[in-house]
Amino acid sequence: MCGIIAYAGPKPAAPILVSGLRTLEYRGYDSAGIGVQNGSGVITVTRALGVDQLADAVAAQDINGESAPNVGIAHTRWATHGGVTIPNAHPHTSADGRVAVVHNGIVENYMELRTELVDSGVEFTSETDSEVIAHLVSRCVEAGETLATAVRCAARRLHGASSFVATFADQPGVIVGVRLGNAGGIVVGIGDGFHLLASDVLAILPHTDRVVYLRSGEVASIEPSRVEFTDLLGEPLDRPVFKTGRSFEAAAKGEHPHFMAKEIAEQSETVSSAMRRRVDFESGTIDLPEIPYTDDEIRSIDRVIVSGMGTSLHSCMYGAQMIEALTGIPAQAENASELRYRNTALNERTLVISVTQSGETADTLAAMELASAAGSKQLVLVEAEGTQATLVADGTLYLGAGQEIGVASTKTMMCSLVVLYQLAVYLGTRRDRLAAQRASDLVSDLSRLPGLIAEMIEDGGRCEKLAKEKLVDKRHLLYLGRGALHPMAMEGALKMKELAYLHAEGYPAGEMKHGPIALISEEMPTVALAPQGALYDKMVGNIHEVKARGGEVIALATRGDEIMPGLADEVLWLPVASQWIVPMLTLVPMQQLAYHTSVALGLDPDKPRNLAKSVTVE
Ligand code: F6R
Q: Give the model's pLDDT for residue 615.
A: 82
CA–centroid distance, 313 to ligand 1, in Å, is 8
CB 102, CB 3: distance < 8 Å: no
Q: Give the model's pLDDT for residue 249.
A: 66
Q: How far apart are CA 341 and CA 282, in angstroms?
A: 45
Q: Give the model's pLDDT for residue 459.
A: 84
Query: Ligand 1, closest atom to CA 309?
Result: 6
616 Cβ below 6 A of ligand 1: no
Please list the active-site residues. Answer: 2, 613
Q: How far apart are CA 32 and CA 18, in angstroms?
A: 9
DSSP state of 235: -
User: pTM of this prediction?
Assistant: 0.87
Cβ density class 54-75: b for 16+ within 10 Å, e for less = bbebbeeeebbbebebbbbbbb
β-pairing verdict for 553-558 and 476-481:
unpaired
Q: How far apart are CA 29 and CA 31, in angstroms?
A: 6
416 Cβ below 6 A of ligand 1: no
CA–centroid distance, 607 to ligand 1, in Å, is 14
Q: How far apart are CA 582 and CA 192, in angstroms?
A: 51
Atom 5, ligand 1: which residue's CA is nearest?
A: 310
Q: Which amino acid is at 127?
A: E
Q: SS3 for 549?
A: coil
Atom 10, ligand 1: which residue's CA is nearest?
A: 311
Atom 11, ligand 1: which residue's CA is nearest?
A: 310
Q: How far apart are CA 478 and CA 227, in angstroms?
A: 55
β-pairing verdict for 226-231 and 218-223:
antiparallel
β-pairing verdict for 195-198 and 503-508:
unpaired
Residues 6+ apart with CB under 8 A from 310: 409, 494, 615
Q: How far apart are CA 38 and CA 98, in angstroms?
A: 11
Question: Hey, what domains does the chain have and what are their CATH numbers?
Answer: 3-255 (3.60.20.10), 273-447 (3.40.50.10490), 455-600 (3.40.50.10490)
**Helix/strand/coil percentages in the chain, nearest 5:** 40, 20, 40
Q: Give the model's pLDDT for residue 80.
A: 83
Going along 344-475, which residue ranges are E strands?
350-356, 377-382, 395-398
Q: SS3 for 503?
A: strand
Q: Give the model's pLDDT for residue 613.
A: 78
Q: Give the model's pLDDT for residue 250.
A: 62
DSSP state of 469: I
Q: Give the model's pLDDT for residue 244.
A: 85
Q: Give the model's pLDDT for residue 503.
A: 96
307 Cβ below 6 A of ligand 1: no
| Mean pLDDT split into 10-residue runs, the chain, 618 residues | 92 93 87 86 87 90 64 91 92 94 94 96 95 96 92 96 94 94 88 95 92 94 96 95 76 85 94 93 95 96 98 98 98 97 93 96 95 97 90 95 91 98 98 96 96 92 94 96 98 98 96 92 95 96 95 97 97 97 98 97 92 79
410 Cβ below 6 A of ligand 1: no
CA–centroid distance, 347 to ligand 1, in Å, is 27
364 Cβ below 6 A of ligand 1: yes
